[in-house]
Amino acid sequence: MQKSDYMPLPGEIMMHYPLLHPGDTVELIAPAARCSDEQLSSIKELLISWGLNCIVDPALFGKDLLCANSDVNRFTLLKNALYRPETKAIICVRGGYGSLRLIPELAQLSQPSQSKLLIGMSDITALNLYLMQQWQWPILHAALALDKFSPESIAAVKYFLFNRPSQVQLHGYPLNKAAQKSGMIQAALTGGNLCMVQTSIGTIWQMNAKNKIIFLEEINERGYRIDRMLVHLQQAGLFHDIAAIIFGDFIQGFEPNGSSLIDPVLARFAENCSIPVVQIKGLGHGPTNFPIPLGMESTLKLGISPELSFNDF
């Protein structure tokens, strides 16, 4: 087995993946955009049906130009969830836009003594990267939008909340020669939405991927924009000394004539990489969206049929 040379940064430890149990309390927050009242109600009812107590602040939604509420109110509710002793997991009801606006105030907080599982994706990548890197909190890249994702995807989130993910294997295919060679890479998994990872450059939450496996996904971005973001990450040094890249789903982003250049763009990028590049479908914004734990050690089996699995934590 090829093990990454991953060494924790000062103060950084390999994260423990917490499990929920019936009767535990979870909290719904909206640090970015808002969902509909109906969607919020359906998420709450789902969590209750799983045996969880669910906190939803009555002031979750309010007036704002772009987001679910004002920056002040969104940050206050985020802070409350971070410090509430009984809350075991924090679930973001939607991505959209706005989570990065909360980072400066978040950086002023002292780290709570109790770590919690944060569940979110897309725009929530900003919070994911900050909490994963600064507080060493575990992250579940997932969403609970019942009207958007398949029943299998929602069931997978439930499984990850209540069970060790070490029995889960996600299958993909190699995109370059380095990924076709037999072997295994054992390393921490990081990343998220491609646009948000690019946005992190130069910030206090910039993705640290040295000796790690990077996961990336995207929606509604045309081929040339995908290429531009990947090249930017490459030229900015974020791909330096990484173990491998996993592409999830890159959906929509059609050209004006209805065609798509995304697959050729990803293929060309992979061909020019000396490290393994693998694609695993069903990770991202598509109807099938399986959860993946970030910040914890994973194993990427290389070869003709690559496989991503999650180690015992």
* 232 within 8 A of 239, measured Cβ to Cβ: no
> At residue 36, what are phi and psi to the nearest 5 degrees?
-75, 160
Cβ–Cβ < 8 Å for 201, 228 = no
How many angstroms separate the Cα of 292 from the Cα of each of 54, 283, 298? 22, 8, 10
Q: Which two tokens stand for residue 103?
A: 């980072």
Q: Among candidates 215, 29, 192, 205, which has minimal Cα distance to 131?
A: 205
Give the residue numbers annotated as catalytic, written as ranges: 122, 217, 285
DSSP assignment of 71-126 equals HHHHHHHHHHHHH-TTEEEEEES--SS-GGGGHHHHTTSPPPSS--EEEE-GGGHH
Identify how many contiguous H helices and E strands the chain contains and give both numbers.
Answer: 9, 15
Distance CA 29, CA 80 (A): 10
Q: Which residue has the tokens 């995908």?
A: 226
The whole-angstrom separation of Cα 36 and Cα 42 is 10
